[in-house]
Structure 1
Amino acid sequence: MTVMGLDNARTYYGEVLTSSGDLRTDACATAEAPPLAVRQALAQVHDEVCARYYGCGLVAPQALEGARILDLGCGSGQDVYVLAQLTGPAGHVVGVDATPQQLDVARRHEAWHAEKFGYPSSNVTFLDGDIARLEDLDLEPGSFDVIVSNCVINLVEDKAAVFAAAWRLLKPGGELYFSDVYADRRVPDALRRDPVLHGECLAGALYWGDFLSLAKAAGFGDPRLVSDRPLGLNDLRVKEMVAPIVFFSATYRLFKLEDLEPACEDYGQAVRYLGTIPGSPEVFTLDKHHAIETGRMFPVCGNTWRMLAESRLAPHFAFMGDRSRHFGVFKGCGLDLPFSPPAEAGVAGGCC
């Protein structure tokens, strides 16, 4: 972050906000219902940690047993402690945050959580740092299976640095799985400098087209939208300030795979889900457009094939076909607004 952005985030999340009830919009609140495993894990997290939670989505992808995970902007540690349970004692979760008050809460309950989880020792680490300057931390390149972030990248001015660092720190086939706030157009400079809009995760929201460009420039070809929702602006003054911009909370997954293609190319390939991912015996949802039922032959593009075959998800699938014959692009993939718009907006959304 810039000094101004970093200082404002520290002040807003360390001093202005004392709990999620102080928020003036629902940008930093999670609306979707967590799956059972996540609900059970949340029940094991200390109340004080949960009270200082400001995330906008769910950042717990599946198949995390034994994984090494990095949480960018971990705050008081709620997601870290949820993920620590999903990885099991053989996994490890590293949380990075720049707000001392938040980290104090997270660290204060580290031993409590290890005992609560029944682990012989803590499997989490909290680091004080700026996620736009991850090179300043002693993190080994290519050492993480998954990187998550929950409504924090919007607070950073140098977003390109965050995506570049994530690419560098992930293992080949690893993924950046994160929730954040996006806009249907570029936010004007005058609004981007407002400290309340910045703290409420609106001022720094990326125009979705700029996000796609930044992600691809860092190496993450073919970003996949997992879920999205239009944001509710509960504060009338805030709503009037930002009108007519429409904001969305969205979760994306970006795989570290070299040379993904820019379109959904058809090679006649298919996968069959084995139903073996915990919590998903009947269907596995890769993204908003790929819900793969157990046992069914499921045609996929070359990129989707690689996301499944060259990641930690591979043991849970059978793979058919190769890339020896090209059948052109899959029909129906466009470049329109990918998010589901609010009913009153009248904007066509979705791709595929």
Structure 2
Amino acid sequence: MTYLETAAQFYSEVAQTPEIGLCCVQTTPLQLPGLNIPQQMQDMNYGCGSTVHPTELVNEPTVLYVGVGGGLEALQFAYFTRRRGGVIAVEPVAEMREAASKNLQIAAEINPWFDMSFVEIREGDAFNLPVIDNSVDVVAQNCLFNIFEPVDLQRALQEAYRVLKPGGRLQMSDPIATFPIPQHLRENEQLRAMCLSGAITYEEYIQQIIDVGFGQVEIRAKRPYRLLDIHTYNLEKSLLLESLDSVAFKVPIPEDGACIFTGKTAIYAGKESFFDDGAGHILSKGLPAAVCDKTAAKLASIMPEEIIVTDSTWHYDGGGCC
């Protein structure tokens, strides 16, 4: 049995019998006025963070959600689209499609604003998304891509890139590893299906996104997710997994490399009232300006005594010089 078959079997089982405590079901879901979430849907919240960022969801976007789970984030996206077919949820596991449909039916009964037609559940998978090229505004996935082997992760990212409109967003939440996961854990298909052994490091994760053509990546959050301890997992030292929420934009990659925003700022502390690097970055004296990591490194090297670059906050939601 391949790791994908193991994952399909595992999620078929947890679709029929929700497993409390799998991933981060203890996390309180996004609270929105008038949004009521069925308990069964909350119990099936098999994700590690959130891909639903309200500031990204203006103008009733078409959202393609990969891996419907219990339907929680599909419902949250529908809260913003509120139109027939505004959310397309793609799911390969029949039992999970059935469970999500039942949960959404309950949601329709307790949410006067929600209509079942707002979410269309389609059979399909991350490698063969059942939509045409350049047709959706947002592709989202939560705690799915991390189970893939690197070659399959590339396929999934390429598919997301294919279906996004120019300027569209890939919104993801996945576990990442603080150091490479040992081979004996990576080969454990059950742990991989449970999102505990397939994670790659932050650097590898971001590079995979860039390699398929996304020119800008913004980190929305990075937080502790799970600890793999030395006793349970036969490790020389405990391994911390972190949850990374990111938004990647389908825009061209600049000649000097992709723009990665991790919450860094640059502050001019020189004698003049402002600093202009001649490349589109103007820093007002004493005022922090959000910059991408690439620009931060360049500015720090230009005038290290007069330009202060702050550390990554691992949170960015727009604005600044880039």
TM-score exceeds 0.5: yes
2:124 matched residue in structure 1: 129
Partner in structure 2 of residue 214 of structure 1: 208
The normalised TM-score by structure 1 is: 0.67
**Which residue among 69, 80, 93 is the counterpart of 2:63?**
69
Paired residue for 1:178, among 165, 172, 180? 172
1:43-100: per-residue Cα shift (whole Å, max 9, x none)?
Answer: 4232222211111111112241411001111212110011101222377011112222
Q: Which residue of 1 aligns with 2:288?
A: none
Secondary structure of 1:21's match? coil
* Higher Cα Rg, which structure: 2
CA shift at 1:160, angstroms?
0.1
Q: Tell me, yes or no, if the aligned pair for 1:170 and 1:256 is still in contact at 8 Å.
A: yes
2:299 corresponds to which residue?
330
Which of 91, 105, 112 matches 1:97?
A: 91
Query: Contact between 2:65 and 2:140, CA under 8 Å: does it hold in 1?
Result: yes
1:146 matched to which residue of 2?
138
Counterpart of 2:32 in 1: which secondary structure?
helix
Looking at structure 1, the residues matched to 228 and 180 of structure 2 have their Cα atoms a distance apart, in angstroms, of 21
Match of 1:56 in 2: 48
Q: 2-side partners of 1:131 and 1:92: how far apart?
A: 19
TM-score between the two structures when normalised by the length of structure 2 = 0.73
2:13 and 2:313 map into 1 onto residues whose CA distance is: 33
How far does residue 170 in structure 1 lie from its aligned partner after superposition? 0.7
| Whole-Å separation in 2 of the counterparts to 1:132 and 1:288 | 32
Measured against aligned partners, the alpha-carbon deviations of 1:123-166 in whole angstroms (never above 9, x if no partner) come to 111122221333xx2x0111111111111101222000111111
Identify if the C-alpha distance between structure 1 residues 300 and 178 changes in structure 2 by more than 3 Å, giving closer, same or farther: farther
Aligned partners of 2:216 and 2:250 also within 8 Å: no
Does the 8 Å contact 2:222/2:242 carry over to 1? yes
State how far apart, in whole Å, the 2-side matches of 1:303 and 1:91 are: 40
Say whether the 8 Å CA contact 1:264–1:302 is kept in structure 2: no
Equivalence map 1:216-235=2 (5 Å)? 216-233=210-227
Give me the whole-angstrom Cα distance separating, in 1, the residues matched to 2:224 and 2:264. Answer: 18
Q: Structure 1 85/327 Cα, relative in aligned 2: closer, same or farther at 3 Å?
A: closer
Is the CA contact (8 Å cut-off) linking 1:67 and 1:91 kept in structure 2? no
Partners of 2:107 and 2:7 in 1: how far apart? 27
Other-structure match for 2:6: 8
Change in Cα spacing, 1:338 to 1:211, as seen in structure 2 (3 Å) is farther
Q: Which amino acid aligns with 1:215?
A: I
Change (3 A) 1:244 1:209: same
Alignment partner, residue 164 of structure 1: 158
Count of matched residue pairs: 278
RMSD of Structure 2 on Structure 1 (CA)? 3.8
Task: Name the SS for the 1:252 alignment partner.
Answer: strand
1:1-352 paired onto structure 2 within 5 Å = 4-15=2-13, 18-23=17-22, 28-29=23-24, 38-40=30-32, 43-61=35-53, 62-65=55-58, 66-89=60-83, 92-114=86-108, 116-119=111-114, 122-134=117-129, 137=130, 139-157=131-149, 158-233=152-227, 238-241=232-235, 243-260=237-254, 261-262=256-257, 288-289=263-264, 329-331=298-300
SS of 1:329's equivalent in the other structure is: helix
- SS of 2:100's equivalent in the other structure is helix
Q: How far apart in 2 are the matches of 1:104 and 1:154?
A: 24
Q: 1:126 to 1:235 in 2, by over 3 A?
A: farther
How has the CA–CA distance of structure 1 residues 243 and 41 changed in structure 2, closer, same or farther, with 3 Å as cutoff?
farther
Equivalent pairs: percent with the same residue?
A: 25
- Aligned equivalents of 2:80 and 2:10: distance in 1? 30
Whole-angstrom CA distance in 1 between matches of 2:91 and 2:278: 37
Residues 1:259 and 1:110: Cα distance change in structure 2 (over 3 Å) = same
